[in-house]
Amino acid sequence: MDQAKIGIDAGGTLIKIAYYQDRIVNYHSFPSTALEEAASWVARQFENPAVCVTGGKSHALAERLYAEPKTVLEFDATAQGITYLANQQEQSIGDNFLFVNVGTGTSLHRVNNGKQKRVGGSGVGGGTLMGLAFLMTGMHHYEQIVRNAAEGNRENVDLKVKDIFEGTVPPISGDLTASNFGKTEEIVNERPADEDILAGMIGLVGEVLVTISSQMAGQYDAESIVYVGSSFKSNPLLQEIIKKYAGMIGKKPVFLKQGEYSGALGALLSL
């Protein structure tokens, strides 16, 4: 029997696992706080596996694994995983592309002929959404936040360009956001619903990321922008906002199925 192979990306929010089963790649995840549970799961599922780990919590996880793992640089693993997924899903991303890894925070990387280089980042990411959501609505479960945000209306909190140029034709698209949470008069007079606030938060995160990544893509003449990361897990609203806002400024974003597992998949492929 062939030795089992496992790739693990232990990040700040999730521990993501990719492994072969019947020659098919399978995926599993745990909260980043569940290091012991993740290590126990690996021990129960696999006998003497080959393991490769990556990510910010990889050292802490490695100490709990029964097998001595190989380690790989997180950014290299993610780039390799993205290329593999794009090929499998027949997504054309080119040899010179930018990938935006939206986890707790956000990291931007250029991949040129298979070599990745980190070119920027932002503290705005999934952690921003979680922190602001709790401070403003008291919600702290990711699934609840995303579910409620999908029911919200950003028009009740965000100031659009068309709101400023009322009665006249604006010089740019009226649907662009002039100010996130900028409808201050309405907000002061009546507190918006939690759903509207959450939708506005996801809008803020998405628009910031599109703006930064589009500028980087222009600087490096990137053929495409690939968005991956745990913040897209069960969060179609964030994808929709990025697609819409990117389209307004002439960019086409690429989303990959299982893209949040790119790092784990790259670690698996390195074995």
pTM here?
A: 0.92
User: Once rounded to an integer, what is the mean pLDDT over residues 197-216?
Assistant: 96
Of 177, 160, 161, which is closest to residue 169 (Cα–Cα)?
Answer: 161
Report whether pLDDT(198) > 90.
yes
| DSSP structural state of residue 270 | T
Kindly provide the b/e burial profile for residues 35-61, where b requires at least 16 CB atoms within 10 angstroms of the residue's own CB.
Answer: beebbeebeeebeebbbbbbbebbeeb
pLDDT value at 249 more than 80: no
**CATH 3.30.420.40: does it fit domain 5-76+262-269?**
yes
Residue in 68, 74, 151, 155 annotated catalytic = 74
CATH fold match for the domains 5-76+262-269 and 126-255:
yes
Strand ranges in 142-182 using DSSP code E only, listed in sequence order: 159-160, 177-179
Binning pLDDT at 50, 70 and 90, where does residue 1 land?
Answer: low
How much is the pLDDT for 3?
A: 86
Looking at per-residue confidence, does 71 or 248 come out higher? Answer: 71
Reported as a single tens digit per residue, the pLDDT across 81-110 is 999 999 999 999 999 999 999 998 999 999
Task: Quote the Cα angle for 5-7-11, to 5°.
Answer: 160
Residue with tokens 């995160």: 205
Extents of the domains making up the chain: 5-76+262-269, 126-255
Q: Please tell me which residue, 2 or 22, carries the higher pLDDT value.
A: 22
Asked if residue 2 has pLDDT above 90, the reply is no
User: CA 122 → CA 45, 101, 172, 253, distances in Å?
Assistant: 37, 10, 26, 18
Question: Hunting for tokens 């930064």 — which residue is that?
Answer: 212
How far apart CA 234 and CA 14 sit, in angstroms, is 14
Beta strands 225-228 and 96-102 are parallel
Q: Determine whether 74 is an active site residue.
A: yes
Residues 6+ apart with CB under 8 A from 138: none
The Cα-based distances of 94 to 97, 169, 212, 220 in angstroms read 6, 38, 20, 13
CA distances from 98 to 27, 56, 246 (A): 24, 21, 14
For the structural domain made of 126-255, what CATH number should be given?
A: 3.30.420.40
Identify whether the C-beta of residue 145 lies closer than 8 Å to the C-beta of residue 132.
no
Per-residue model confidence as pLDDT tens digits over 116-165? 999 999 999 999 999 999 999 999 999 999 999 999 999 999 999 999 99
Share of the chain above pLDDT 90, in %: 87
